[in-house]
Structure 1
């Protein structure tokens, strides 16, 4: 969290001078802090300004996986590993993805259970599950990539998230918008109170986020993609936003 503070010593000193009589009779420290705080609170405006911009995404984060079921854990793991090897080969050899843009998201081998009143809970086969988190930058080919992945053996496309790789470059724009919004609110409040807005005393920046659309594909949709139906993916736009909590002097 970022803070910019303007010293308010002048306001505090003024409070001390006005309260001079109380300082002597009630004690220096207590009278100064109480009166100064009250004085500051009566002469400030606190507002929250918000700013946001819409931008085109330049990167996609894709979660893709292979899930296999077999009678034994060893069979499930072995078959799943063979399928995953084909997926990795496609990404590295055909699509030329760098190793840094591929990482394991989840890996598990676990039993499947059935239940009946007669036999109770029993193990019925095993499931192996392995996912990859992929970073991909050619957004026009995301749909084609998903189609090729399903043909290579991927039967889980958990989500596709679009974002921007360099979010910081947009921060100045949203901060300026948020500050302008805060100025407008403070001016309206001061006008309603028949006062004027003074200098900024402090600014605190809230969190900035990019809200990226998701595209979810179930296993059934992935199967359709493997049947020569091209998958069309539209990245759309994403929102970059921030908030500023601003304290103004009120004259």
Structure 2
């Protein structure tokens, strides 16, 4: 009886082997998908500083506060709300006079109030003019960006995957095969490059006109690695 069972199992295995042998092996390929495009920015961030120096600390602080109040008044006239303004730093530093072979001598104090405004790109030149006219003496940077950075990055990822799948179709056609399955996707990187204008000392022109500040383009892109089975 045992010999009959073993014989039946052996025959079943022999019958099953040709079925598996007839299956064509799948070809596995790996493709890289890339995307990069330039988009128009719709938001700007203006970072500027109010610097006040005086021999007396209270005078330096009061001068700084007066200029800041005038800046806020000018911005309010242009429709800027408190929610669009934030303070980055408020700093008080001693100012010393350094002479050779002498101890440093305290000359006074510097008060630096650094603020940031978030606004539409259409208002940048006007706001820079209003800020500097009010007494702010340094424009630290102007950053042009998109309102929703996450959406821009997600779209870049979708485009990169689409590029990878197109390449896979080309490879499959060249091999007389077709795409059967995507087995693995690795995100190699997503980049988002806003337009930055740094360390600009911008002042109103002699005729009081607002400066022309072009926004440029924001660059967004992504790279993915996709593993695909062909059949």
After TM superposition, give the deviation of residue 202 of structure 1 in Å.
1.7
Matched with 1:208 is 190
**Partner Cα distance (1:69, 1:43) in 2:** 72
Residue aligning to 1:235: 215
Partner residue of 1:163? 145
Runs of 5+ consecutive residues of structure 1 not aligned to the other structure: 1-41
SS at match of 1:116: coil
1:231 CA displacement: 0.5
TM-superposed deviation, 1:192: 8.6
Structure 2 counterpart SS, 1:154: coil
Q: What's the TM-score once normalised by structure 2's chain length?
A: 0.76
**Partner deviation per Cα, 1:65-120 (whole Å, 9 max, x = no partner):** 2001111222211211111111112112x012122211001110011223222213
CA separation in 2, counterparts of 1:77 and 1:194? 77
CA distance in 1 between partners of 2:95 and 2:32 (Å): 52
Contact 1:208–1:242, Cα closer than 8 Å, also in 2: yes
Partner of 1:107: 90
Alignment partner of 1:141 out of 114, 119, 123: 123
* CA distance in structure 2 between the partners assigned to 1:225 and 1:129 by the alignment: 24
Report the number of matched residues.
206
Q: Which residue of 2 aligns with 1:154?
A: 136
Residue ranges of structure 2 left out of the alignment (5+ in a row): 1-25
Match of 1:13 in 2: none
The farther-off stretch of 151-160 and 168-177 is 168-177
Residue 246 in structure 1 maps to residue 226 in structure 2: yes
- Higher-Rg member (1/2): 2
Equivalent position of 2:52 in the other structure: 68
Say which structure is richer in helix: 1
Preserved CA contact (<8 Å) 1:159 1:217: yes
TM-score (norm 1): 0.71
Shift, 1:184, TM fit: 4.5
Shift of 1:189: 6.5
